Structure 1
Amino acid sequence: MSVIPNQRHLFDIPDDVAYFNTATMGPMTTASVEAGKAGLARKLRPWSIQDTDFFADTARLRPLLAQLIHADTDGIAFVPSVSYALATAAANISLAEGQEILVLEDQFPSNVYVWRALAESTGAQLKTITRTGSSTLSDCLLNEIGPNTGLVACAHIRWTDGALVDVATVGKKCRDYGAAFVLDLT
């Protein structure tokens, strides 16, 4: 896995500030702020916005994102929030009674609550995976995925400590067992 170079220049963060609370309130890039200003200015005259403009930006962005993450364009969807996306995923995942839903300890709450509700409504079992000793989060997940796993839900990077999950390896093992794999990539 390669690491991207320092991206600090894209943000308006003073040199003497180290800001880490991005899971709660991440700073926006200066380009995002400019795009937001342009979008707000456009809404000063909403009668000039055509119906076709409503989907134009996402139609342009979906193939770019698909190319970036090596995915199928039709598999890319934009939603207003992670909790909305997770609820949508949960509504479309079939689990049998007794199947396991695996989540990580200290996972962001919106990526736990929806799976608790799904477990309760389907009779599946929610199982929280704890990292032990020198094991990685990926190792701990990989050790638990098996024939009874119906779903693995986690983030690529855990918000509490920055620990990474090897999503390619975990995803492969999920596919090997026919388990759904839901990622929070915020």
Structure 2
Amino acid sequence: MARARARLASRVRREICYLNAASWSPLPIATQEAGRVGVARKGRPWSIDAALPERQFERARRAAARLINADPDDVALISSVSYGVAAAAKLVTVPPGTRVLVLENDHSSAVLEWTTRAQAGRFSVDAVPRPDDGDWTAAVLTAIDAPGAPAVALASISLVHWADGGTIDMDRVAAALRKHGAML
């Protein structure tokens, strides 16, 4: 801690009191150095080892797998959520007359692919309403088992709601979806 404080003191003059860390926090020194290395590498693209991207991807997959206690083979790297959802939508069939669940006010990346396919696929896209009590898990479970509603074929939802930070217990939701033969 003392070493980190000393490094920070060498970068910020004592008379400065910087309080805007919410949107413009100072980058850690290691991050700045990694950025310099990356920019220098891109300045000479002909010298980049062709195997470097694959090594970086594998390192990221292993790190993500450790973080979520998974096998690296269970981690897919994609350029964006919308690309991944679009790829998944091309690989699965949502049966006509069923529902795709999304979260109300969720980021468009997890939603738009399904709304654009719904009419042609003759399925509906239902937005799980934002719960007043903040319990997204209960709200999703209620939507899955909604009486009189068409069967759920797929839920296109995230572990954390992008706008409010509400979390979803994916183990419980996945179990409920499996019980109905639905995809997650």
Task: Tell me the distance in 1 between the aligned counterparts of 2:40 and 2:83.
Answer: 27
Aligned 8 A contact 1:93 1:180 in 2: no
Deviations 1:110-167 (A, max 9, x none): 2221110232332111111113543611101101225811111122222322222122
Task: Tell me the distance in 1 between the aligned counterparts of 2:152 and 2:42.
Answer: 47
Is residue 144 of structure 1 aligned with residue 147 of structure 2? no
Structure 1 outlier segments of 4+, above 4 Å: 26-29
Q: CA deviation at 1:81?
A: 1.8
Give 5+ residue unaligned stretches, structure 1: 1-8, 21-25, 182-186
Q: What does residue 111 of structure 1 align with? A: 110
Give 5+ residue unaligned stretches, structure 2: 1-7, 9-16
- Give the aligned residue type for 2:40: A
Match of 1:155, SS?
coil
Aligned counterpart in structure 1 of residue 165 of structure 2, from 162, 166, 174? 162
Number of corresponding residues: 165
Aligned 8 A contact 2:134 2:166 in 1: no
Match of 1:63, SS?
helix
Which structure's residues are more often strand, by fraction?
A: 1
Deviations 1:86-105 (A, max 9, x none): 21222222211011100111
Aligned counterpart in structure 1 of residue 176 of structure 2, from 168, 173, 176? 173
Percentage identity across paired residues of the two chains: 32
Identify if the C-alpha distance between structure 1 residues 134 and 45 changes in structure 2 by more than 3 Å, giving closer, same or farther: closer
Task: Tell me the distance in 2 between the aligned counterparts of 1:128 and 1:58.
Answer: 34
Structure possessing the higher radius of gyration over alpha carbons:
2
Task: Tell me the distance in 1 between the aligned counterparts of 2:77 and 2:26.
Answer: 18
Identify if the C-alpha distance between structure 1 residues 15 and 76 changes in structure 2 by more than 3 Å, giving closer, same or farther: same
The TM-score normalised by the length of structure 2 is 0.76
The TM-score normalised by the length of structure 1 is 0.75
Match of 2:94, SS?
coil
Which structure's residues are more often helix, by fraction?
A: 2
C-alpha RMSD of the superposition: 2.7
Match of 2:154, SS?
strand
Identify if the C-alpha distance between structure 1 residues 29 and 111 changes in structure 2 by more than 3 Å, giving closer, same or farther: farther
